[in-house]
């Protein structure tokens, strides 16, 4: 989500009376690549760009092709094949041995449904009090004049936010988009349109950013929030308003009570108990338990966490196995951290591993691909 918000900020700064722009989006990857489907970059006709689609090896050529798309005012899909031994092939030095398809689209600022303005709808949805996944479908190949490359559909589970496809056939596409949301995995679809022509779609599942709720008022809040901000997380603090420094108010939503948070604590929310006071942490944990949190972190030694768990048991309200799995105390990965900054890094890394459904171990010990193969190819 952070890349999307960064692109929107760059887009809003552009003077379109002087400049033109295009959006490049990775829509298909086969094999290895530095970035995966959904990676984006905004390209200005003066060569400036925001975001990225690779580790820097494809950007220069994509900029040249984007300027051609801007000149022709026509979207196009460019394929980069890094599996070839051809020394003249763009990206051959990547060493990733993959095929990357990039959709390049001129951006018309007057069009309220241009690809960047649709990203604005994505961000707006993620900032609602009740957040949820979205599916963004885009035509990546078509020989139907009714459904050209670049047409999009944007949908939540309950609401159609944007639809550019013609009525004929879009009902079935909507069903496919809903199935994508239910499965939580992006998909490639190949459909036969009403006129008998073949149309290919890339349907991307976009999840809201992690919402980090830090409960405390001490100086060690700042490094954790700074890391969260760098990662593009949504940030909230629950604590004593008189003890919290001004920099924290500038980067996070700060409230005195957990119930005052303007956004629901949902399955994309992580909470860290940081009061350094046993009674306060115990009281705050009781307030958190009714929420559907994926991660609850506790500072301090293991014995402190065990004492809190025992307190619930002594009160006749023992924590369920599911809640115990959610509880991480001591919070953080074993990085040998001793300073507030390093401890914040270890906590943020553990939160990322939980939401990324990974163990947090060294990548060199991983025996399967680094990126999950969540992209499904289906024909209809």
Reported as a single tens digit per residue, the pLDDT across 219-246 is 999 999 999 999 999 999 999 999 998 9
> pLDDT over 90 for what percent of the chain?
58
Contacts of 243 (CB under 8 A, 6+ apart): 217, 218
Report domain 211-363's class. alpha beta
Using pLDDT thresholds of 50, 70 and 90, give the confidence band for residue 330: very high
pLDDT at 33 over 60: yes
What's the pLDDT score for residue 250? 93
Is residue 186 within 8 Å of residue 203, measured between CB atoms?
yes
Asked if 26 and 80 touch (Cβ cutoff 8 Å), the reply is no
Sorted by sequence, the CB contacts under 8 Å of residue 254 that are 6+ apart come out as 236, 237, 239, 241, 244, 248
Average pLDDT, the chain: 88
For 39-90, how does the pLDDT look when each residue is reduced to its tens digit (9 = 90+)? 999 999 999 999 998 877 788 899 999 999 999 999 999 998 877 655 555 5
Structure-model confidence comparison of residues 359 and 333, the more confident one: 333
Say what the pLDDT of residue 87 is.
54
pLDDT tens-place string over residues 115-125 = 999 999 999 98
Tally Cβ neighbours within 10 Å of residue 148.
13
The pLDDT, as a whole number, for residue 183 is 82
Half-sphere exposure of 238 (CA within 13 A, CB side): 24
Q: Where in the chain is the domain with CATH 3.40.50.720?
A: 211-363
Q: What is the pLDDT of residue 379?
A: 41
- 341: which DSSP letter? H
Per residue in 208-220, pLDDT (tens digit) is 999 999 999 999 9
Specify the 3-state DSSP secondary structure of 225.
Answer: helix
Of the ranges 83-92, 99-108, 159-168, the best mean pLDDT one: 99-108
pLDDT band at residue 331 using 50, 70 and 90 as cut-offs: very high
> Is the pLDDT score of 316 beyond 50?
yes
């Amino acid at each position: 989500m952070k890349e999307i918000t960064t692109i929107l900020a760059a887009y809003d700064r552009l003077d379109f009376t002087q400049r033109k722009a295009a959006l490049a989006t990775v829509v298909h990857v086969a094999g290895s690549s530095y970035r995966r489907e959904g990676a984006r970059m905004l390209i200005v006709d003066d060569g400036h760009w925001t975001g990225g689609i690779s580790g820097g090896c494809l950007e220069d050529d994509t900029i040249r092709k984007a300027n051609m798309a801007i000149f022709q005012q026509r979207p196009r899909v460019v394929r980069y094949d890094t599996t070839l031994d051809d020394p003249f092939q763009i990206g051959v030095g990547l060493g990733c041995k993959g095929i990357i398809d990039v959709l390049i689209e001129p951006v018309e600022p007057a069009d309220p449904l241009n690809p960047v303005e649709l990203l604005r709808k994505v961000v707006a949805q993620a900032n609602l009090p009740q957040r949820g996944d979205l599916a963004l479908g885009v035509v990546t190949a078509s020989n139907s004049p009714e459904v050209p490359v670049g047409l999009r559909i944007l949908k939540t589970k309950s609401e159609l936010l944007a639809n550019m496809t013609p009525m004929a056939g879009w009902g079935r596409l909507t069903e496919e988009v809903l199935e994508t949301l239910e499965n939580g995995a992006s998909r490639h679809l190949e459909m036969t349109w009403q006129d008998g022509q073949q149309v290919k779609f890339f349907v991307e599942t976009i999840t809201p950013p992690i919402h980090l709720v830090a409960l405390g008022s001490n100086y060690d809040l700042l490094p954790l929030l700074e890391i969260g901000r760098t990662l593009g997380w949504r940030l909230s603090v629950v604590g004593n308003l008189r003890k919290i420094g001004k920099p924290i108010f500038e980067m996070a939503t700060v409230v005195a009570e957990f119930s005052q948070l303007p956004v629901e604590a949902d399955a994309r929310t992580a909470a860290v108990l940081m009061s350094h006071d046993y009674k306060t942490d115990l009281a705050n944990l009781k307030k958190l338990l009714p929420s559907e949190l994926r991660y609850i972190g506790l500072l301090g030694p293991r014995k402190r966490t065990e004492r809190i768990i025992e307190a619930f048991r002594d009160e006749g309200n023992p924590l369920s196995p599911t809640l115990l799995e959610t509880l991480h105390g001591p919070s953080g990965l074993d990085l040998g951290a001793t300073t507030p900054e390093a401890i914040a890094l270890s906590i943020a890394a553990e939160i990322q591993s939980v939401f990324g459904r990974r163990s947090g171990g060294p990548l060199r010990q991983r025996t399967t691909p680094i990126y999950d193969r969540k992209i499904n190819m289906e024909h209809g």
